[in-house]
Structure formats: C-alpha cells, structure tokens
Amino acid sequence: MRVHRSLGNGFQEVIYQRALAIEFSLDKLHFERELEMSIYYRDRAIGTRRVDFLSLIK
C-alpha cells in the first residue's frame, strides 16, 4: 500500500514493480523478479509463465 499511496494511479505496471522491489529490499525481504516457471498438469509440463516476484526464504 505504501507504493500505491506514494505514486497514486496511472503508471505502467513496471513502475509499480520497480517501486515494490525497492520496498522489499528496504524491508530486507529476499526475492527474485520476472522468473519463468513451468506449469504442470497431472505431472506433465504444459507451459510456462513469468511471475512478477518470487519470495525466497533465506
């Protein structure tokens, strides 16, 4: 919510993602951006998708 309150409406998604990455870093959260992940159905790979953020446990 801090990012949205600060920037407001109307920016492209990538602007909010960049600001959110800054907030995550300031909060010392570990993450990766724009990771390609496989999608499975009944143990078979059926495609991929890119996720905006993936939290990493350290």
pLDDT average, residue stretch 15-41: 96
Domain with 49 in it: 2-55
pLDDT at 7 over 90: yes
Residue 23's closest CA among 52, 1, 8, 56? Answer: 1
Residue 56, SS3? coil
The band of 16, judged by pLDDT with boundaries at 50, 70 and 90, is very high
pLDDT value of position 56: 85
Count how many domains the chain has: 1
Taking only the tens place, the pLDDT of each residue in 29-56 is 999 999 999 999 999 999 999 999 999 8
Q: Residue 58: pLDDT above 80?
A: no
